Structure 1
Amino acid sequence: MTLSTLKREQIKKDLKDNSFDVVIIGGGITGAGIALDASERGMKVALVEMQDFAQGTSSRSTKLVHGGLRYLKQLQVGVVAETGRERAIVYENGPHVTTPERMLLPMHKGGSMGKFTTSIGLTMYDRLAGVKRSERKKMLNKKETLAKEPLVKQAGLKGGGSYVEYRTDDARLTIEVMKRAEEKGATIINHSKSMHFTYDNNEKVNGINVEDQISGETYTIGAKKVINASGPWVDEVRSGDYARNNKQLRLTKGVHIVIDQSKFPLGQAVYFDTEKDGRMIFAIPREGKAYVGTTDTFYDNDKTSPLATQEDRDYLIDAINYMFPDVQVEDSDIESSWAGVRPLILEEGKDPSEISRKDEVWEGKSGLLTIAGGKLTGYRHMALEIVDLLAKRLKEEYKLKFKPCETKHLPISGGDVGGSQNFDNYIEEKVKDAKAYQIDEPLARHIVSKYGSNAEELFKIAQTAQYQDTGLPLDIYTELIYSIQNEMVYRPTDFFIRRTGKLYFKIDDVLNYKEQVIDVMSELLGYSDVQKELYKQELETAINEAQTGNNQPAVKE
């Protein structure tokens, strides 16, 4: 069975009728990683997500699988070493969702990065992170720095450093991990909320009650163990258990803004410190846009839809105009934005940027396992940590034995391309194959680059597509049908935000084709009139949030 929206009722039946070794609460990158690791070891796995997969933190990051250079400044050497090693694994297992990206680190007189400290820092980074020779740091003089990115501020420029990070599509990374977990036997569903725990006679957690957020139906999933991997909602989920420790989360918010390259013609990713508070932020070119972030402020408001405030937007605009003074961008140049919440573990008296990104596993008297903190880059290692403990408990309590973790060399869905070194060749081969399906080269190249070894499935859809009557271009129609059949898309926002990223990087496609997409989804998924109107309003709200930071749908004239 695939992660098909069309098989949703069958998936629910499987969740009701079976008993599982573990049920995971949370469908972000952490929950997806746990589901993959546990199912690969042979465990019977269920996973529920109350919203869409990756709808929380995992679709709202800086979209980098990075080694955490800034944590070196805070002397978090362990975090840098672990995440540096993990990012290479993430790239190797999913080169279709991860791309090496050279970063420029400009050094200015009076800035926080001097030539000597930058060189030492980047050398340490290369060693700790185990960076391959071709991607190691290079030190640049002023002329070489400007040759890399002419827009960088020239006044006081002393030179720069160049090093490699990995750009990713965070939401697609999550869904590809989830799809591989399903292939390994995990039973997975989105838009299904864990309401409360169930217990056995010894007051040990033995399952959860779930409410389908689409139909309102409630049912129980039975499991030997429950893992709480709900990210920013970790404390809320734990509050339903009688056994809690004294640890808690401290949420911080990060905001990113997107500007068209006609306004901000950035040719090279740049990592720079801001004038206002000396924090380091990224400016990254992507798909004809430049996106800039992130802010880092404490956050206590609505976790389901954090917003980019005017203060956030001003902070990032000021930072751009400080480092790229000839650009002179204005607030009106912002095409789109997103805000994400980081679930960090509370450390009293520390500023948002100083709080450690390290993860922790907590075990309650009830047997509930919780994982909190951590970074996108370290998701696989976080999963290894908690699934090792899970396997130990299942052996102690149920005499069950499972094989050790095998995800280090396990490609995620779409990643069966012969390794990262071969991915370019794989793309060329598949683009040639696409001719047999009468698919033109630009579309074929887009599909293979984005979907990797799953490309053939999309070629088949494109070849047989009756898309002309829908008013949709072939590329959007093909991705829409594929995402419904294989990626559990149910709402238009699932498709436009988390499966394609169009709301952030191609907002014109959303504005031009939203009605047609809703019509196709309504016909295929059998929306009621009420649902159709509700999802239409939900999409309008999301568009308005992205464009203005306001979460009220725009009033039509």
Structure 2
Amino acid sequence: MDSSKHIFSADRRESLVHELKNRKFDLVVIGGGITGAGIALDAATRGLSVALIEKMDFASGTSSRSTKLIHGGLRYLKNFEFNLVKGVGKERAILYRNAPHLVVPENMLIPIYSNGTFSKFTTNVGLWLYDRLASVKKKERRVMLNAKETVAKVPALSPKELKGGGLYSEYRTDDARLTLEIVKTASYNGALCINYFTCVDLKMEGDLCAVACRDELNGETITINGKQIVNAAGPWVDEVRKIDAEIKEKTVLHTKGIHLVVPKERLSIDQSVYFDAIDGRMVFVIPRFGTTYLGTTDTVYSGSLDSPNITTEDVNYLLDSVNRIFPEVNLNQSDVISSWSGLRPLIHQEGKTPAEISRKDEIFVSDSGLISIAGGKLTGYRLMAKKTVDLVCKRLDLVQECRTDSVRIVGGEFKTEGLVRAYITNLKTRMKSFGIEGGEAEILVRAFGKQTDTILKKTRDFEEDKLIQALAWFCLRNEQVHTLADFYIRRLGYLHFYPDRIKSTMNLVASVFASYLGWDESRIQQELSDMQDHLKSITEFESDHGEA
């Protein structure tokens, strides 16, 4: 192994595959979303030898397609899931402490209308209970507003029958970056994590377990040996279970949630809003770096797991809901600059609608010993991992306590949110001395944290488009990127929030990738074509009859 190459570099793949083939691991994790990443980190920090495989890119499924909030679980009060609210509230505080650059306080406003789901009294009581159960800090607890104060917060709100509002505390995040940084943190703690590796077969024979994997980048098949195997494949969890044996227990129900992004000038708000949709569900409207995004839906889904579709019915549902409460905005489909669709892998409960199904996670152990985990939410990933690794340790006759409540996530080496803000302010000044627009500072820090220092220093090596070239170099060297889509969609988030930046830089970035990864002209053109397809897909929606 060339020690000069970074542990998570894209060009270290050959040596990484060699290690995976020639070692026997305590634990092999299938799935590189937030759940699998959390399990790998938990196990590695307990001293277990860990391998993690992901069939596509890290966080390419549900873990990059959420509402991008670290929920305190307010909606669960409606189903009287008090313990769930209490648990995710505590987890949110731990995650905020360990990754303050990625977990950002976000006040949420609930406007209260006379014809709405909740009265002022029930909203007040509900938020009071939420504050207590979720252990919300005193300075972040609910504030009840009258109608005038509510409109002052969000002037675009419809004043008709408005009774007031309630402000409460949520936290926003970049879900893909959070997942990736957890994978990297696991890697720095000894786990061997690799993307584009698909599980094609399982052999479960006591302590002699094996995962047959196909390398999606070159077609090679290898076997990874381990004592325990955990299936954390998210929406694909049942597919992996079927490789092992016929499913005899509960199955996963997929429900779809879509999100739309519009320019801030079309829905100009500085305050996130959580309100009644046209069917009584609740919808978010959230400002983010010059855009506003809307979500989400919750419908049963049975189509492609790799590429969940968005229909015109989905789009109209969100637009109609927003236009009802922001009547002067009058959004239409032409205002949408991007969109995404994700799947929730819920535990099927007969006779319940998607909104009624619990978001609790469950562990299933097959007769052969395969451990599978499904359900759960982004916020609760660490507890899901703890519960899973506790079981793994028990089966291995090991006594090792969970340590992840105090493990800082890569890039999050800040003691407080105040220090994050101070770092952003200082970075703005430093960036100007490098000839780079200081307005990019917060975007960079909210994605890369302290790693921004390395990126900024690298800009000195380039004459034109310094920042995007430095970002490409950093991600290639530190974040296992193998395609332009990995870079633009999950490392930077540009596809959904800055699609125009992709159009103006992708030819240059492709040349950087080609130099680092040895692409020929054919591969370059294929990558550029694939990115054009992604750019096209974010504003194309299927008709209700399945046609684009």
Distance 1:287 1:63 in 2: 14
Query: Is this contact kept in 1: 2:363–2:372, CA < 8 A?
Result: yes
Q: What pairs up with 1:522-537 in 2 under 5 angstroms?
A: 522-537=514-529
Distance 1:167 1:229 in 2: 24
Deviates more, 1:440-449 or 1:521-530: 440-449
Q: What one-letter code is carried by the residue in structure 1 that aligns with 2:178? A: L
Query: Is this contact kept in 2: 1:337–1:549, CA < 8 A?
Result: no
Q: What one-letter code is carried by the residue in structure 2 that aligns with 1:480? A: A
Indicate the SS of the match to 1:476. helix
Residue 331 of structure 1 is aligned with which of 330, 333, 347? 333
Q: What one-letter code is carried by the residue in structure 1 that aligns with 2:366? A: G
1:216 maps to 219
Q: What pairs up with 1:294-373 in 2 under 5 angstroms?
A: 294-373=296-375
2:546 maps to none
Indicate the SS of the match to 2:355. helix
Query: Does 2:254 align with 1:267?
Result: no
Query: Does 2:81 align with 1:44?
Result: no
Going from structure 1 to structure 2, the CA distance change for 1:328 and 1:7 (only over 3 Å counts) comes to: same
Percent of aligned pairs with the same amino acid: 45
Residue 101 of structure 2 is aligned with which of 89, 96, 103? 96
Q: What one-letter code is carried by the residue in structure 2 that aligns with 1:259? A: V
Going from structure 1 to structure 2, the CA distance change for 1:147 and 1:68 (only over 3 Å counts) comes to: same
Q: Alpha-carbon deviation of 1:514? A: 2.2
Query: Does 2:543 align with 1:540?
Result: no
2:284 maps to 282
Residue 492 of structure 1 is aligned with which of 457, 481, 484? 484
Distance 1:322 1:182 in 2: 47
1:57 maps to 62
Going from structure 1 to structure 2, the CA distance change for 1:446 and 1:288 (only over 3 Å counts) comes to: closer
Query: Is this contact kept in 2: 1:4–1:486, CA < 8 A?
Result: yes
Query: Is this contact kept in 2: 1:64–1:166, CA < 8 A?
Result: yes
2:134 maps to 129
Indicate the SS of the match to 2:393. helix
Residue 420 of structure 1 is aligned with which of 417, 421, 428? 417
Query: Does 2:197 align with 1:192?
Result: yes
Going from structure 1 to structure 2, the CA distance change for 1:433 and 1:417 (only over 3 Å counts) comes to: farther
Q: Alpha-carbon deviation of 1:478? A: 1.6
Deviations 1:29-78 (A, max 9, x none): 00000011000010000000000000000000000001121111121112
Distance 1:426 1:5 in 2: 29
Q: What one-letter code is carried by the residue in structure 2 that aligns with 1:27? A: G
Query: Is this contact kept in 1: 2:31–2:233, CA < 8 A?
Result: yes
Distance 1:458 1:405 in 2: 33
Distance 1:440 1:292 in 2: 28
2:541 maps to 549
Going from structure 1 to structure 2, the CA distance change for 1:152 and 1:439 (only over 3 Å counts) comes to: closer
Residue 142 of structure 1 is aligned with which of 137, 140, 147? 147
Q: What pairs up with 1:162-177 in 2 under 5 angstroms?
A: 162-177=167-182
Query: Is this contact kept in 2: 1:119–1:139, CA < 8 A?
Result: yes
Going from structure 1 to structure 2, the CA distance change for 1:392 and 1:436 (only over 3 Å counts) comes to: farther
Query: Is this contact kept in 1: 2:147–2:164, CA < 8 A?
Result: yes
Distance 2:390 2:337 in 1: 44
Normalised to the residue count of structure 1, the TM-score between the two structures is 0.93
2:34 maps to 29
Distance 1:299 1:73 in 2: 23
Q: Alpha-carbon deviation of 1:445? A: 5.0
Q: What pairs up with 1:386-401 in 2 under 5 angstroms?
A: 386-395=388-397, 401=398
Distance 2:86 2:527 in 1: 44
Query: Does 2:493 align with 1:501?
Result: yes
Deviations 1:421-440 (A, max 9, x none): 43223444555666887766
- Which structure 1 residue ranges, 5 or more long, are not aligned? 396-400, 552-557
Query: Is this contact kept in 1: 2:436–2:467, CA < 8 A?
Result: no
Q: What one-letter code is carried by the residue in structure 2 that aligns with 1:181? A: A
Query: Is this contact kept in 2: 1:256–1:294, CA < 8 A?
Result: yes
Query: Is this contact kept in 2: 1:93–1:419, CA < 8 A?
Result: no
Going from structure 1 to structure 2, the CA distance change for 1:548 and 1:440 (only over 3 Å counts) comes to: closer
Query: Is this contact kept in 1: 2:204–2:370, CA < 8 A?
Result: no
Residue 454 of structure 1 is aligned with which of 443, 451, 455? 451
1:242 maps to 245
Distance 2:430 2:366 in 1: 53
Query: Is this contact kept in 2: 1:491–1:535, CA < 8 A?
Result: yes
Going from structure 1 to structure 2, the CA distance change for 1:541 and 1:351 (only over 3 Å counts) comes to: same
- Which structure 2 residue ranges, 5 or more long, are not aligned? 1-5, 544-548
Query: Does 2:270 align with 1:257?
Result: no
Going from structure 1 to structure 2, the CA distance change for 1:20 and 1:437 (only over 3 Å counts) comes to: farther
Distance 2:526 2:55 in 1: 17
Query: Does 2:513 align with 1:511?
Result: no
CA RMSD of aligned residues (A): 1.8
State how many pairs are aligned.
Answer: 538
Q: What one-letter code is carried by the residue in structure 2 that aligns with 1:302? A: S
Q: Alpha-carbon deviation of 1:480? A: 1.3
Going from structure 1 to structure 2, the CA distance change for 1:256 and 1:205 (only over 3 Å counts) comes to: farther
Deviations 1:170-223 (A, max 9, x none): 0000001111100100001001111111243x5x66120111001001101110
Residue 408 of structure 1 is aligned with which of 394, 401, 405? 405
Query: Is this contact kept in 1: 2:146–2:163, CA < 8 A?
Result: yes
Deviations 1:468-501 (A, max 9, x none): 3xxxx22221211111111111111111111111
Distance 1:394 1:244 in 2: 24
Distance 2:187 2:433 in 1: 30
Distance 1:328 1:435 in 2: 39
Going from structure 1 to structure 2, the CA distance change for 1:124 and 1:94 (only over 3 Å counts) comes to: same
Q: Alpha-carbon deviation of 1:441? A: 4.0
Query: Is this contact kept in 2: 1:210–1:221, CA < 8 A?
Result: yes
Query: Is this contact kept in 2: 1:205–1:226, CA < 8 A?
Result: no
Q: Alpha-carbon deviation of 1:362? A: 1.0
Q: What one-letter code is carried by the residue in structure 2 that aligns with 1:104? A: L
Q: Alpha-carbon deviation of 1:329? A: 1.0
Residue 235 of structure 2 is aligned with which of 226, 232, 235? 232
Distance 2:267 2:214 in 1: 46
Q: What one-letter code is carried by the residue in structure 2 that aligns with 1:63? A: K
Normalised to the residue count of structure 2, the TM-score between the two structures is 0.95
Query: Is this contact kept in 2: 1:19–1:222, CA < 8 A?
Result: yes
Q: What one-letter code is carried by the residue in structure 2 that aligns with 1:155? A: K
Indicate the SS of the match to 1:413. coil
